[in-house]
Structure 1
Amino acid sequence: MLQISVVIPVFNEEESLSELTRWISRVMHDHGFSYEVILVNDGSSDNSWEQIQSLAEKINQIKGINFTRNYGKSAALDAGFNKASGEVVITMDADLQDSPDEIPGLYRMIKEGGFDIVSGWKKERHDPISKTIPSRFFNGVTRWISGIKLHDFNCGLKAYRLKVVKNIQIYGEMHRYIPLLAKWNGFGKIGEKVVQHQARKYGYSKFGIERFLNGFLDLISVSFVHRYKKKPMHFFGLLGSMSFMTGFLITCWLIFQKIYGLSKGLKVREIVDQPLFFLALVALIIGVQLFVTGFIAELMTSNQSKEAEYKIGEEINFDF
């Protein structure tokens, strides 16, 4: 069995691939590791796939996966995890901002330190302030909600035990929350290592403000899915009950007012002439709809099978 699998998502990074793979190979050979490098081309529009093919022809340890189009980093990592066979799986970005020299230290923390996951922490970053400040805010909120004491959830440089990546499935933009997904699946020993952050040498950053907006939405999504994936009726049923009971009590109150007024000979408004009646009616309808949604969700989860959300067009150097 291989000691290390390095999984690297690639999106328009043709200039850095040759230097990155040479650097990884040098580190592996210097430390005597048996290894594989899995480069996942995520629908690049440049010559990244041609570069991966060329490198794979020269170095047997380099393996390639080519997506039919761009599916995102989570899909690329998921495809790499499915193919990985090393005792320890290392992930890193392809832009040379993650240093392969950190691999031996990450490997030792997994094998000797007993961690399930070790996440990199870019304590000193070579990024503009427009990127670092939102990143700190995002990590602070994620740390508070998840309860996992990591400083940099979005650092691409991480190490995992093989059994961790084989027992989680990431999709959408959930790669930021792999430690959280792993914790919920029983892999709770999560460590952190300060790692070197390199200044970008080639290309341009794929960073945008939408990354953080999407990140917060994904955090809400992954929290919801964890709590209610197997019991959706607990969520929809609770909301439905609250809405239905609110509408029912308002209706009873309106009827009581009507009857009481008539019994006292008072002039009272028609129930249907009161705005409160229509609010009660809406609450009743929403309550029933939420109940029905909960029942349907229960039926779906009982027969649900998750399929890969990406298509692989070609693979290199994998044993079939």
Structure 2
Amino acid sequence: MKLSVVIPAYNEEESIGETLRTLYTKLVQEQIDHEIVVTNDNSKDNTLGQLQLLAQEIPTLSYYTNPGPNGFGYAVRYGLERYQGDCVAVMMADLSDDPDDLVRYYHKLQEGYDCVFGSRWVKGGRVVDYPVHKKYINRLANGIVKTLFQLKYNDCTNAFKLYSRHTIEGLKPFLAPHFNLTLELPLKAIVRGYSYAVVPNSWTNRKYGESKLKIKEMGSRYFFIMMYCLIEKYFSRGDFHKARLTAHKS
């Protein structure tokens, strides 16, 4: 099973080298057939130049520049239209996500799940240097999602997840252009009946640069995606559900 890793990158010249080298080394060490797909989201720094150099060093790396429109969601979607693997993970360019966790995701998916979701907030999960205000907002937002969708899972908003190819195809078309894509993907998967496993994962705050997530700008966008998925859950009559899609294709 070939693993694809989609990484959006905007102004990550200081982080991207360490991130890609660490990820590549781990996947080679674990003998996992893979590709790394980076979408340069029209960076204003030398991210593109770093990627050009890294591509000569890392044989499984391919990179693209998203001509626009730009934004986190658009950059991820650009990569999701171009990956070649049997499953695909979304990871961040700042090494906040741990390649060791990705290996665990990969092996868990092979047990027969459609998706593997990490949680930083269960036993075995951890966060390092997580900003207090972001933690408060994160826990509040995920609590609302848990309640509305009647979930046990408590970390929907984290981008770092793994999906089989047939799951990704079943979630299209994508709507979210920004960080709210991190909520759209798992909620659609859950609402549409795709199976998922939850494993503990870790998160470490970036060493370089600054976070691209602007919380004040994202509230209404997260709310839109949440309400869209909620409407689908209760009013779509199962038209997008995995079982019905499979039956229709056969």
Q: Into which bin does the TM-score normalised by the smaller protein fall?
A: 0.7 to 0.9
Matched, 1:171 2:170: no
Residue type of the partner of 2:16? L
- Per the TM alignment, residue 117 of structure 1 is displaced from its structure 2 partner at its CA by 1.1
Could you tell me which of 148, 151, 157 is aligned with 2:151?
A: 148
Question: Match for residue 192 of structure 1?
Answer: 198
In the alignment, is the contact (CA less than 8 A) between 2:118 and 2:198 conserved in 1?
yes
- Per the TM alignment, residue 31 of structure 1 is displaced from its structure 2 partner at its CA by 0.8
Residue type of the partner of 1:220? M
- Per the TM alignment, residue 56 of structure 1 is displaced from its structure 2 partner at its CA by 1.8
Question: Match for residue 230 of structure 2?
Answer: 223
Residue type of the partner of 2:76? L
How far apart are the structure 2 equivalents of 1:171 and 1:65? 21
Question: Match for residue 162 of structure 1?
Answer: 165
- Give ranges in structure 1 of 5+ residues lacking alignment: 231-320
Question: Match for residue 54 of structure 1?
Answer: 53
Could you tell me which of 183, 190, 202 is aligned with 2:208?
A: 202
- Per the TM alignment, residue 191 of structure 1 is displaced from its structure 2 partner at its CA by 1.8
How far apart are the structure 1 equivalents of 2:84 and 2:161? 16
Could you tell me which of 130, 134, 142 is aligned with 1:131?
A: 134
- Give ranges in structure 2 of 5+ residues lacking alignment: 238-250
Residue type of the partner of 2:215? I
Question: Match for residue 115 of structure 1?
Answer: 113
**Which TM-score applies when normalising by structure 2?**
0.83
Structure 1's 178 and 200: CA in aligned 2 closer, same or farther, altered over 3 A?
A: same
In the alignment, is the contact (CA less than 8 A) between 2:16 and 2:93 conserved in 1?
yes
How far apart are the structure 2 equivalents of 1:57 and 1:99? 24
- For residues 152-189 of structure 1, give each alpha carbon's deviation from its aligned partner in whole angstroms, at most 9, with x where no partner exists: 112121111121112222222333121121233341x1
- For residues 202-223 of structure 1, give each alpha carbon's deviation from its aligned partner in whole angstroms, at most 9, with x where no partner exists: 1112233322343123212333
How far apart are the structure 2 equivalents of 1:27 and 1:167? 30
- Per the TM alignment, residue 199 of structure 1 is displaced from its structure 2 partner at its CA by 2.6
In the alignment, is the contact (CA less than 8 A) between 1:39 and 1:64 conserved in 2?
yes
Write out aligned runs for 1:1-320 (5 A). Answer: 3-69=2-68, 71-112=70-111, 114-123=112-121, 124-125=126-127, 126-169=129-172, 170-172=174-176, 173-187=180-194, 189-210=195-216, 211-224=218-231
Decide which structure has the larger Cα Rg and report it.
1
Structure 1's 217 and 171: CA in aligned 2 closer, same or farther, altered over 3 A?
A: closer
Residue type of the partner of 1:195? N
**Which TM-score applies when normalising by structure 1?**
0.66
**178-187 vs 13-22, greater mean Cα deviation:** 178-187
Aligned length: 228
